[in-house]
Structure 1
């Protein structure tokens, strides 16, 4: 009987290891498919959105959700909210009957104790419910991994979840002359401006700055105000995010907060309200910065943003709102601009812009 039990345990262990190996292979395949810079950027953005998960598990979730989409099990190709079975129950939602979860790797941990923490060989593993001896130091360590399962919200049903505001694409006309002025500044900084037909051409974004090719791309299937806002955002990246600059931000979230905040300030100086897009966008990206909160991120970037925005406004020959000086001290005519560099605007088809 003991032999049968041992065989059963061995078979169970072999099955567990096979499943883990399959998951690892799935992950390896997913990473191997990240062969272009644009794919890698999207992967990092997805990981930032699901920052409570490791990058490895974020990729596993993405791959399995894409498979579920191809099978017609979920309505969208990208996951939104993902949680474990019991977590969904606490939110008043139930996994639909028969819906298989997405496999992820969860750490296995154990408690270790010692009276001499400085001696690595002195640590002993505590059994379940075992208490350490008086004076001993106890630490929890990862001892391995196990399979766990999570479900996208589209695989559940029940109570509605509170939603956070999403960035709203701006509508309407842009301030007169602002597009041309910003485009000239981008050219002066040594970048070529590319106009692409839609977001697909630049990986789903509204605009994109490529520091290697020194190109700025903006989609033109939006209203003029949204195009100008995106162009100003990309100019913010040109001025503040250049990886060759020693002052470049160390985190993508900070870079996005800075660039979008510049767009907000420049827009406000032209009586263009970008807050419907900027506030949710900045909040989302600020949330990705580790060991801080969104308010702290915005505060920490405020002075750099202000200097960059003022530098842009000083170089623009546009009608701007009052600067805060008393009446009579406001400049009556725009400040003269330096001679403009010749600007080249290239219109490209989506297929030509993929990979920027």
Structure 2
């Protein structure tokens, strides 16, 4: 079966006569500005911005849809072959000529050296004369063979789909700051020469915002008043607009952004009356500036994508999956569950954007262990405390693992058992250690289970060495904290390690700590049998929060006159003083309270809410632990089935 040939429009010249080629170029330049071919040329320029103006125009004249061109031999070296019968594209290449000539010998002062005969001395030197020749290249569509990627697909995808990332890349290559503001009139943006900033109209579409940002960045690069004056450059307003809009069109075309709204109705009027040299100079400025912006944006996007992927990978590991790099490629990503999170099945994704959506779903509705770890990776600013600090302040099942600091005073104790340490009179102290991992854990796990997990198949985001002799583990079992030294056989409790660690972190000990809710008389708490009308049933006022929660539990369900609740009574002398529910029927009222700015910003209310939510979570865990085994198994089976159903991204 014969190969289908593509079409190249041949230049009307005989052979490779340079005079004829240059004459065709002159004609091409005239046609470029007097026809509808200007946008077509700019699109070609976006793909060949490293080529000269002349060669870009020659490619556009012969094969405007070309994307990647090179010579016959180069294609072969890349594993591709030009199809039989294809017509090449003629472009110009340097062909310097070396010549020998006689020239005067000059001394150090650049004056002719006079010989014994009284005449200037001469010498024969080789000089290089700049010349050009016509060569033939072929577009990739005219070849077959090994695939070649001109621009990584993830970069194009990011440019089109990831607005924030692309806008950030534009801001980073802009020579001046970019800000958003309301702009009166029809202008979408402007470059301010005095303030040295770009202002873009806010609330525009993402596409228009990007185009405007690129356009104004071109202005800032090319038409800054001080730079133009320093280079003795003068340009009229229309020339500036032609250059900026042409650069924007090239850049948008290169990244496959929508360019359908672009038009250049003024191009013929602008070019009319200008000399050929002036037109070529402007086109070369456009080519050079667009090329620089395309290259810089590509580099920035590549770097930001790499950083984003690293962050997503850390988030996926925090969720309990390892990246199967060898089994993955750019269009097929595979993740394998670790042994700690008891996941079933692999995760698959077609792109990192798909992984990002899965990560966001975990943050929104994942299980508590997954959600907390993943959210901390993606949004660390949401957490006021480190994982380790949370272990000391939460009544939950949390653990922290400590390794001896290799650069600290205890480095000689690494992998040394307790008996040997005691024989040498060495005491294990918290200041010799650093925290390497901290997390929630399941209520039924003890030190033996922890040791097994962190040796046999640790969590995917655990990057330290396996749990070994001389390591220390602090376990918080719903507020009961103990520290264990990993010994050669079993574990030794360290009674002072917890308080020592708190002191290092600058945290108050349990004895020193005072309850912020008990330090003030501005807030008290109540428990009511009927949340809507407390007077209709049993109600207890002026309680501390623990007392209110205890009273809430004691209200019998069989004689309820409504839905029971726990709430606060605020007395700070503001318009918001009075009673409000914190918990109704075992559900937090955060959504309602946070919808009122005063309560959302009130530290006492927020602290009370946090403690009520901890109470709700602890009650939920206790219910889970006391559920009959048969019922637990049935629920676990249901969860496992659901997890398997949700495994695919």
Q: TM-score, normalised by structure 2?
A: 0.25
Bigger radius of gyration among the two: 2
